[in-house]
Structure 1
Amino acid sequence: MRRGDATARPRTTPRVQSAASRVNEGTAVDFIQPTPSPTNYLVPTVIEQTNRGERAFDIYSRLLQQRIIFLGTPVNDEIANVIMAQLLHLESEDPDKDIALYINSPGGSITALFAIYDTMEYIKPDVQTICMGQAASAAAVLLAAGTPGKRFALPHARILLHQPSGGAEGQSVDIEIQAREILRMRDLLNEILAEKTGKTVEQIDKDTDRDFILDADQAKDYGIVDEIIASRKAQERVVR
């Protein structure tokens, strides 16, 4: 600190220095940087016959009528708002009936993840989570956040966990701030995963230091899911 400068910079710990180094390298992984949702794919339409004629629904609205939410995109703020609204809507329709959240997602923004996670914890209905395809990064945390006993994976599902990281630029003090925030987010994620899997925070921290890839059987052994299901009947036997 220069003489006469009344503002002292916060002391930088080795842990923050390490995180700052990762941030300064510009390593942008899906946990911090929001990923835009794809808009160039066809959304099927379902036609239903009613007494008043035909009604058309996009497939996701039709699934919502069956209390099914489908997360099939990267997790960003836009997608989080949609899923939160769906969860709240289904709670208002029937607070005692399960909601099913199907997941096939590469992950995404950590703030969007926390928004969805907190909503899942907030609402009254149990939330079944089902991984079909993959649940990576933020999506893997949502998979683990389902109601205990109602977290499922299909036989060939893939689950990936890792620590949050991101890219930043600017003065060293700004990079330090971002590094501290990454560490705070990492600690929160580790605590959530430890609670949901039954592992210790130290074990989670060690395992997710690099990409931690699990198949369905390994995810069950690790405590991310409760059962592996190959058919609707198998799922119904568990949750009825």
Structure 2
Amino acid sequence: MSGEASFVWLTCQAPIRFDTTCKSCSKLTNHSLGQFVSSRTRSKELCLGWTRPKTQSRLNNLTMMPIGVPKVAYRVPGAPQADWVDIYNRLYRERIIFLGQEIDDEISNQIIAVMLYLDSEDNTKPIYLYINSPGGSVIAGLAIYDTMKHIASEVVTVNVGLAASMSSFLLAAGEKGKRLALPHSRVMIHQPMGGAKGQASDIQVEARQILRIKESLVRDYCNMTGQPYEKMLKDLDRDNFMSAYEAIEYGLIDRVIETKAT
């Protein structure tokens, strides 16, 4: 809106505070981690300690989250103060990985690196892979799949929205008995797609490669779901959408989460 600043507030039970000297008023003030930032703010309001009588109590109970990539305040054990860290790095500390975008080489490498690190830290605890993704590169997805099978840590998969295409493959690849989904999540399976241009012989090579990948995916789906080969081949022929409960019957997941997280 014109003339107004937009703010994102993060409620904290115990706001993190710092003692600092304000350059505007030259007073030692005890400020919350957040501050108002506006291009229309007057210089006297740039003081972190500026107040408005009616909102002072609210400011004391809230801190502001930087706009952009979601961030949370995190204090490293032994550190004198907290820093803003992006939400994904904070989740990594709890052994939680969130796949919330199309699968490509970059996100695949990041997920693989985190899995390898968490497994080296403690391979007796599970790693949780939360999925809300439309799928993406088959090669990049297979790299994640192979890593899941390589590490000693169990990988618990959770569908929180849509697990489509290659993402459905990763969902089904989780630890047997620990492939989960939320009630309104959906799953979509289909055969791999690809394209090529150039000389006829080059196109022929690409076509053979895609068919090999398709054959491999069909057999892996069969192993993960228990479906017979011919049925799996037919079901992958076109986009095949399923509800969370249908995915249980099909063998892609094991349970729908209907209780609150603890």
| Alignment TM-score > 0.5, same fold | yes
Give yes or no for the alignment of 1:202 onto 2:223.
no
1:93 to partner: Cα distance: 1.1
Match of 1:192 in 2: 220
Shift of 1:157: 0.5
Query: What secondary structure does 1:118 align onto?
Result: helix
Output the TM-score relative to the length of structure 1. 0.78
Q: Which residue does the alignment assign to 1:169?
A: 197
Instruction: Give the residue type in structure 2 aligned to 1:175.
Output: I
Residues in 2 aligned to 1:49 and 1:183: alpha-carbon distance in whole angstroms: 50
Q: Show CA shifts across 1:40-78 (max 9, x none).
A: x93111113565012221100000000000000100111
Equivalent of 1:147, from 145, 163, 175? 175
| Structure number with larger C-alpha Rg | 2
Percent identical across equivalent pairs? 48
Moved more, 62-71 or 167-176: 167-176
Aligned residue among 125, 144, 158 for 1:116? 144
The one-letter code sitting in structure 2 at the alignment partner of 1:223 is G
Which of 89, 105, 110 aligns to 2:117? It is: 89
The answer to whether residue 127 in structure 2 is matched with residue 99 in structure 1 is yes
Separation in 2, partners of 1:48, 1:197:
40
Matched, 1:136 2:136: no
Aligned to 2:85: 57
Question: 1:46 and 2:72 equivalent?
Answer: yes
Structure with higher helix content: 1
Using CA pairs below 8 Å that are at least 6 residues apart, which structure has the higher relative contact order?
1
| Alignment correspondent of 1:37 | none
Structure 2 CA distance for aligned equivalents of residues 185 and 49 of structure 1: 46
Residue among 66, 69, 77 paired with 2:94? 66
TM-score by length of 2: 0.72
Give the Å deviation of 1:201.
Answer: 1.9
2:106 aligns with one of 78, 82, 89: 78
Instruction: Find the residue that maps to 1:189 and give its secondary structure.
Output: helix
Structure 2 residue matching 1:219: 3-state secondary structure = helix
Aligned CA-pair RMSD: 1.4
- Structure 1 segments, 4+ long, off by >2 Å, are 48-51, 230-233
Q: Where do 1:205-220 residues align within 5 Å?
A: 205-220=233-248
Structure 1 residue runs of 5 or longer lacking an equivalent are: 1-40
3-state DSSP of counterpart to 2:82: strand
Is the counterpart of residue 226 in structure 1 residue 254 in structure 2? yes
Letter in 2 for 1:160: M
Could you tell me how far apart the structure 2 residues matched to 1:90 and 1:231 are? 27
Distance 1:200 1:71 in 2: 29
Task: Note the C-alpha offset of 1:230.
Answer: 2.5
